[in-house]
Chain A
Amino acid sequence: MEKLVLTEEETMLADMARGYLDGAAPVAKLRKMRDAGDTHDAALWKEMAEMGWAGVLVPEAQGGSDMGYAAANVLAREMGKTLTVSPFISSAVIAATALRQVADARAEAALARIAAGEATYALAVDEGIKFDPEATQMTARADGNGFRLSGKKQFVVDGAMADRLLVLARTENGLTLFDIPADRAGVTRDRSNMIDARDAARITFDDVEATGEDVLGQVDQAMNVLKPALMAGQGALAAEMTGLAAGAFDMTVGYIKERKQFGVEIARFQALQHRAAHLWCEIEVTASAILNAGRMMDADPENAALAVSLAKARATQTATLAVQEGVQMHGGIGMTDAYDMGFYMKRARVGAEWLGDYSYHAEQVAAARGF
């Protein structure tokens, strides 16, 4: 395994990404989109594809940059700092990882479209209020040579805008993952009005036709394809949330250095210094778990589950702390819509739930550590 230190290439990638995102996708961009009711920036995604980000996990033969999971996490972390709106995790990480588990011409063509920025994906797994793929109720009934999909999904992140859906459904002897176009007959998408102003949808499947071609991997064996994809998504989301924490932290430290009360900058008060220092320590510790998860996914994905759940649990905890401290240290102004801190707080809450909350991942860690 590579060491727990960023390589020169990864450091350059992070610097480059930061430079690009500060200009192309600052928090002000999210605010503008929120105010306009937009949840997708097609031009931004096209540029990301041109820079090789959409194809970060796509083999070079399919036009990808194939940089690996640690690199994908570097990108996700930088996007977290500026709350960049993009289908990066859904398409470039989750869908690309799922498709890579399947070695056929159809999957290769799909990967090529992801890398080119021509197709976006959303993962439709959740049916209840909590992440629990094993509890899937939605059915895919055998019908001739194909299937009929019926059921409801919710919190389908990027589901309102995605071109294609990865849908988990119950077949006769297990779970099966389908890859279908989002506009297929019988699919009804209702965009959710999310607190983080990002794309998510409730989707109803009413006797939707699917062929054997639409099955990703083997019938009844969804987890062979889905598990690595979920782990990849959880790792990248954890990286995004750690970036989010760092972004909220930088903003907060910047503010307390400027804000004056009692005639001095409030950063002179030890009560605030120690809160800020503690938060920095937590972010540093979480950054280690993120780097480790990326390294494990690259080196030994079969055994990366503990590392990924550790990263997601820590990132959830740290991002939650960062935004709460951020608002508190900003004071009243942090509660206003005019300041950006609220955007960080709302995205942190959505990230905390997506792909398994703290408790879900704590249970995974506990199971792996003999509790």
Chain B
Amino acid sequence: MSAETTPDAFRDELRAWLEENCPQEMRDGKMTENGICWGGKNWQFTSDAQKQWLERCAARGYTVPTWPKDYGGAGLNRAQEKIFHQEMDRINARKPLQSFGIWMLGPALLHFGSHEQKLHYLPPIARGEIRWCQGYSEPGAGSDLANVQTRGEDRGDHWLVNGQKIWTSYADKADWIFALVRTDREAPKHKGISFLLMNMEDAGVDTRPIKMISGISPFCETFFTDVKVPKDQIVGEENRGWDVAKYLLTHEREMISGGGAGLSGGGRALGAVINDTMEGISDATLRADAMRCEIDSLAIGLTLERYKDQAEAGQGAGDASAMLKYMGTELNKRRHELMMTAGGSDALEWDGPLGNRAGDWLRTKANSIEGGTSEVMLSIVSRRVLGLPG
């Protein structure tokens, strides 16, 4: 599976491997909350097939196909990655593993981490052994993220961390946390932040789930009281954590935007989804709205592809993630509004005839807030792309 393998040979080999190794139960393309394998020390596999699928993929580097082989990936180039996703979609395969380690910390470590840190932290992410959460937002640091007040006092061989994070997704289920901590209180706010890695099992770390409007509690408050963080658990330089934070945010935003384009999970057309519910869309207004949504969804999907192709060709636009995040999440909200309309009163019951449709709909409302609000995204585009005065 080297980079020299021809695309056709790669596809043939991959297809044969998938045919043999992807359990039938994992070929339902399930993208609901229940279908996801998050991994981690406390992970309870929902079936033997889920465990088998994760282990087989991890052994081939397929949980993180583009990461280097040394760090648990398969070292695929962009062309091979495209083929990989096409072949996975072709058999409706579930993703073997999803996690913030894959989406967010991994890319940041690959870019800013030392070789030792990469060897230490990345393979357990790829194998689904360690589950990470993100300690960014605080009660007083939402859109103004650089205003974080959680502080780390220098105690020689460690930092002593005290403070509070909020909206920490799955903090109650995570093994480790990557967090923004103020290590210099005198410096301007962007210049006194460090990017620290902390073990959630350490003394002084406490989490409290927050019940959300969707009825579930994916978000938590996380409290740090005199938590000792060894000095080698910093990514990048001391007080330069904002660089890492911003880099990671671009990956987070691209990840969030992808959900809206409807490309994940086999790229099912909205019309087909609505047809399932309504046995043909007889409502002319809904049909027209859904068609508009479908058109925008296809175009945004192509834009995700285009930006990936541009990045590979070295024409990366650094602030494109703000645009993708804004367009993708606003689209996703539209899409779920339409699916609720299509579902009619069936969609109004928790765990009713349409499963968790209402919960999914409510969850999308966070998409245009988390990872930077739509308004913050527009301000980023305005300043950095259009060059309008701040």
Contacts and interface: CB of A to CB of B under 8 A. Distances in A.
Interface of A: 3-5, 253, 256-257, 265, 267-268, 270, 273-274, 276-278, 280-281, 284-289, 291-292, 310, 313-314, 317, 362-363, 365-366, 369-371
Contacts of A288: 299, 302-303, 305-306
Contacts of B145: none
B298 A289 contact: yes
B299 A286 contact: yes
A277 B386 contact: yes
Contacts of B296: 285, 314
A276 B303 contact: no
- Main secondary structure, interface of A, reads helix
Interface residues of B, number: 39
Interface in B83-116: none
Nearest to A286: B299
Contacts of A366: 271, 287, 291, 294
A59 B142 CA distance: 59
26 contacts: A4-B306, A5-B313, A265-B389, A268-B389, A273-B379, A273-B382, A273-B388, A277-B385, A280-B381, A280-B385, A281-B327, A281-B381, A284-B303, A284-B320, A284-B323, A285-B299, A287-B306, A310-B299, A314-B296, A362-B288, A363-B291, A365-B298, A369-B298, A370-B269, A371-B287, A371-B290
B326 A281 contact: yes
A4 B309 contact: yes
A291 B298 CA distance: 13
Contacts of B281: 371
Nearest to A257: B388
Contacts of A277: 378-379, 381-382, 385-386
A369 B388 contact: no
Given A277-B385, A281-B381, A366-B271, 7 more contacts: A5-B312, A253-B386, A285-B302, A288-B299, A317-B295, A370-B275, A371-B275
Contacts of A4: 302, 305-306, 309-310
A276 B291 CA distance: 25
Contact of B378 (A274, A310, A313, A370): A274
Among B298, B309, B323, B381, max chain A CB count under 10 A is at B298
A268 B275 CA distance: 46
B272 interface: yes
B97 to A, nearest CB: 28
Interface in B300-357: 300, 302-303, 305-306, 309-310, 312-313, 315, 320, 323, 326-327
B281 to A, nearest CB: 7
A310 B389 CA distance: 35
B382 to A, nearest CB: 4
Contact of A371 (B271, B309, B389): B271
Top 7 closest pairs, chain A to chain B, by CB:
A371-B271, A273-B382, A277-B381, A4-B306, A369-B269, A288-B303, A288-B302
Contacts of A256: 388
Contacts of A291: 302, 306
A284 B386 CA distance: 13
Given A370-B275, A371-B271, A371-B281, A365 B303 contact: no
Contacts of B300: 285
B360 interface: no
B298 A310 contact: yes
B299 A280 contact: no
B382 A362 contact: no
B388 to A, nearest CB: 5
A285 B327 contact: yes
Contacts of A274: 375, 378-379, 382
B386 to A, nearest CB: 6
Contacts of A314: 295-296, 299
